[in-house]
């Protein structure tokens, strides 16, 4: 069954995320497997699934992505990855912000958007109403919705109290004038691409055995190949097939590559991925920084 709602959140906020899941389930007629929340039982990823690939697929299939924006979320590269992918895919995004967050600290994918405050009853009510409409789900009774709102407001209050000891710490802010890609700041995207690993089969490594490389290293090392384009109809087992699926498709949500516009006669049989202008800018930014630091 397709995902209706994808809840992007930090694993450190599991109690609050769980309360929000309960609120959503109590406010609209929603099956367990129509809501994805990786920290809450009954809504987690399937066992054995590819984490990054499944998350991207769920985001793409969902009717709406809810961003639970907390202090922990702002420090999470995975949340920025999910919100950036949502922004890049032009999906419906509903940011729900907790009171310990300074709105000036909101990252690229959320900055400039109207957000709902989780402490505001009217904001939460509007948030639930809009999600119900976007997902075309049937709303529960007014009494059940009101009770669900009161419960999530109480959970938010407890969350803010638990964050009080952090109040004296410096607020997390996006680096000034730092370029963004699909709404994700350069430094954060560099961190994500560097941490995401790709297994390179022995056949594509001169028979030296399977090795792991970061998505970033593969991207920079194959920029010239991406400029010429990677096609979806390469034979399985070939380098082109490997790069299309393990490099090109993984870079797509960040806006670093894009689908080439093909003539109708070709588009009928295959797709082609090419490095985008944003991809060229990303590599130039990296080279500029590394040159400056020497």
Domains and CATH numbers, the chain: 5-166 (3.40.50.10140), 180-293 (no CATH)
For the chain, how big is the Rg over CA atoms in Å?
A: 21
Say if CB 72 and CB 10 are below 8 A apart: yes
pTM score, two decimals? 0.58
Q: DSSP code of 5?
A: E
Buried b (16+ CB within 10 A) or exposed e, 222-259: beeebeebbbbebeeeeebbbbbebbbbbbbbbbbbbe
Return per-residue pLDDT of the chain as tens, 294 residues. Answer: 688 999 999 889 999 999 999 999 999 999 999 999 988 888 888 787 776 777 778 888 899 999 999 988 888 877 877 877 777 778 888 999 999 988 877 776 677 778 899 999 999 999 999 999 999 999 999 999 999 999 999 999 999 888 876 544 444 444 446 788 777 888 888 888 888 888 888 887 777 788 888 889 999 899 999 999 999 999 998 999 999 999 999 888 888 999 998 898 898 899 999 999 999 999 888 888 876 554
Alpha carbons 54 and 164: distance in angstroms, whole number: 35
């Amino acid at each position: 069954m397709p995902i209706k709602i994808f809840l992007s959140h930090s694993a450190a906020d599991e109690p609050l995320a769980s309360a929000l899941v309960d609120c959503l389930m109590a406010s609209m007629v929603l099956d367990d497997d129509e809501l994805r929340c990786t920290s809450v039982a009954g809504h987690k990823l399937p066992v054995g699934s590819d984490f990054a690939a499944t998350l991207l697929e769920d985001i793409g299939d969902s009717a709406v992505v809810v961003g639970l924006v907390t202090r922990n979320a702002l420090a999470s590269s995975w949340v920025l990855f999910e919100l950036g992918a949502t922004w890049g895919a032009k999906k419906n995004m509903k940011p729900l912000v907790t009171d310990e967050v300074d709105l000036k600290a909101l990252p690229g994918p959320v900055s400039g958007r109207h957000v709902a405050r989780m402490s505001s009853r009217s904001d939460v009510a509007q948030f639930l109403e809009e999600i119900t409409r976007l997902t075309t789900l049937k709303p529960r009774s007014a009494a059940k919705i009101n009770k669900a709102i009161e419960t999530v407001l109480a959970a938010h209050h407890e969350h803010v109290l638990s964050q009080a000891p952090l109040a004296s710490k410096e607020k997390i802010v996006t680096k000034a004038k730092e370029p963004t890609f699909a709404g994700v700041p350069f430094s954060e995207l560099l961190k994500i691409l560097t941490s995401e690993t790709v297994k390179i089969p022995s056949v594509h490594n001169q028979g030296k055995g399977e090795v792991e490389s970061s998505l970033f290293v593969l991207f920079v090392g194959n920029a010239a190949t991406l400029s010429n384009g990677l096609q979806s109809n390469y034979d399985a087992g070939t380098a082109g097939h490997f790069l299309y699926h393990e490099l090109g498709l993984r870079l797509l949500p960040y806006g670093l590559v894009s689908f080439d516009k093909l003539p109708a006669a070709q588009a009928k049989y295959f797709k082609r991925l090419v490095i985008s202008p944003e991809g060229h800018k990303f590599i130039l930014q990296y080279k500029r920084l590394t040159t400056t630091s020497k």
